[in-house]
Amino acid sequence: MPELINTELTVSELTSLIKQTLEQGFYGLKVSGEISNFRPSSTGHWFFTLKDSSCAISAVMFKSALWKVDFSPKEGDKVTVTGSIDVYGARGTYQLKCDTMEQSGVGELLALLEKRKRFYAEKGYFAPERKKVLPVRPKRIGVVTSPTGAALQDILNVLGRRAPGLDVLVLPAVVQGEDAARSIANRICQANNLLLCDVLIVGRGGGSLEDLLPFSEECVIEAIHDSSIPIVSAVGHEIDWALSDYAADLRAPTPSAAAELVSQGYMESRQRIKEIEEQLKQTMLHRLVFFEERLRRYTSQAFQQRLEAIIDKRQYLLANASNNLVLAQKQLLRDASSRVESAQRELQALSPLAILARGYTVVTDDTGKLVKSRAQTEIGKQVTLTFIDGKRTALVKE
């Protein structure tokens, strides 16, 4: 470095010396503070001020390093950054160029939550076998959340669309700050003591790890564990989490997803009704087509043709029946004639006249009594001889 005393320097030379001194002397820094005046640029870089109770320093984080940050910084966030001093010669200013950024205390908070998670897991609070099954079609849904938060509106919108007739009871609670955990736990206990609902949705919208901390407090975990009402934990967005997710009977990635889960039975019923309705429509349509086709058969022309066909068929049957009747009558007459002839022959064969016709004679005495033997006559008595063609009187001589 040249001797600066009594040395005349241009502004550029002085700025270059300052830049060299600061950038080489202040690197690998780790600085904690509060974000203020956060200004994302259109080029993707972040410009902000990092301050504490008494001082502030300009800071920048270029677009190429943003992938290392796993949260969305906002005004008032307490963060810890690493980086170096950067001098902007055109303005003669310096700023803190950040390479990484994380929320202050996140490491300690994560360690605390992990320890608490292990503690309750060992006690069996998160065991799958203790999880209660949600009712398929609950009559009333309880919602423990902030009454002014967007999460409640999301839940109400989803339930109103999917299950319009479902009763929703809002149990307002503080969801952020020192009193939040006790407020949430009290509402869960109140719902159980008074049997206010069939399912409870406990949650809030997204936020930082500190914002979601009340849902990981011991009193909330205990209240969820002791609840006889099935509980759905719906804390933050999909990437957010809290210990209530593990203690609850079901974890939903968002409040809207929780509303979808508890109303799933109604959606399935509505879908089934739609399917049945469609089946009925198809069945009725098929029957209408069938009967329309049958009606076409009963037009005047079709009816006349059908009637003529029926008459023709009946006439044919009648003609056959008449012919059969005549044939049967003739057959009966032939049978009767045959029986008469047979009877005549039998009668003729049995008739005494037939016997007489063969040369035999019938002998009777004077009293008309049939003479069957010689002992019935005496000599000198008259007898009557009956021939086939007449009678003669004879005198018995010997």
In a domain, 390, yes or no: yes
What per-residue confidence (pLDDT) applies to 47?
93
CB-based contacts of 313: which residues, under 8 Å, 6+ apart? none
**Is 186 within 8 Å of 219 (Cβ atoms)?**
no
> For 237-260, how does the pLDDT look when each residue is reduced to its tens digit (9 = 90+)?
888 889 999 999 999 999 999 999
Q: Are residues 178 and 148 in the same domain?
A: yes
Write the CA distances from 153 to 131, 145, 147, 204, integer angstroms. 27, 11, 9, 11
Residue with token string 């904690």: 32
pLDDT at 2 over 70: no
Final residue before a domain boundary, out of 246, 262, 278 = 262
Range of the domain at 381: 353-395
pLDDT at 267 over 90: no
pTM comes to 0.53
In a domain, 247, yes or no: yes
Confidence of residue 3 (pLDDT cuts 50, 70, 90): low
Q: Are residues 125 and 234 in the same domain?
A: yes
Task: Tell me the mean pLDDT in the region 367-395.
Answer: 85
What per-residue confidence (pLDDT) applies to 107?
66
Write out the chain in H/E/C secondary structure. Answer: CCCCCCCCCCHHHHHHHHHHHHHHHCCCEEEEEEEEEEEECCCCCEEEEEECCCCEEEEEECHHHHHHCCCCCCCCCEEEEEEEEEEECCCCEEEEEEEEEEECCHHHHHHHHHHHHHHHHHCCCCCHHHCCCCCCCCCEEEEEECCCCHHHHHHHHHHHHHCCCCEEEEEECCCCCCCHHHHHHHHHHHHHHCCCCCEEEEEECCCCCCCCHHHHCHHHHHHHHHCCCCEEEEECCCCCCCHHHHHCCEECCCHHHHHHHHCHHHHHHHHHHHHHHHHHHHHHHHHHHHHHHHHHCCCHHHHHHHHHHHHHHHHHHHHHHHHHHHHHHHHHHHHHHHHHHHHHHHHHHHCHHHHHHCCCCEEECCCCCECCCHHHCCCCCEEEEEECCEEEEEECCC
Cα–Cα distance, 154 to 145 (Å, whole number): 12
Q: Are residues 118 and 34 in the same domain?
A: no
Query: CATH code at 16?
Result: 2.40.50.140
Q: Are residues 244 and 116 in the same domain?
A: yes
Q: Are residues 233 and 129 in the same domain?
A: yes
Q: Are residues 191 and 241 in the same domain?
A: yes
In a domain, 180, yes or no: yes
CB-based contacts of 29: which residues, under 8 Å, 6+ apart? 82, 83, 84, 85, 96
Q: Are residues 96 and 195 in the same domain?
A: no
> For 183-230, how does the pLDDT look when each residue is reduced to its tens digit (9 = 90+)?
999 999 999 999 999 999 999 998 877 789 999 999 999 999 999 999
Q: Are residues 251 and 179 in the same domain?
A: yes
Q: Are residues 22 and 114 in the same domain?
A: no
Final residue before a domain boundary, out of 235, 262, 289 = 262
> For 27-67, how does the pLDDT look when each residue is reduced to its tens digit (9 = 90+)?
788 998 888 889 999 999 999 999 988 899 999 999 999 99
Q: How many domains does the chain have?
A: 4
In a domain, 285, yes or no: no
Final residue before a domain boundary, out of 87, 104, 121 = 104
In a domain, 5, yes or no: no
Q: Are residues 91 and 123 in the same domain?
A: no
Query: CATH code at 114?
Result: 3.40.50.10550
Q: Are residues 114 and 251 in the same domain?
A: yes
In a domain, 229, yes or no: yes
In a domain, 213, yes or no: yes
Q: Are residues 60 and 128 in the same domain?
A: no
In a domain, 129, yes or no: yes
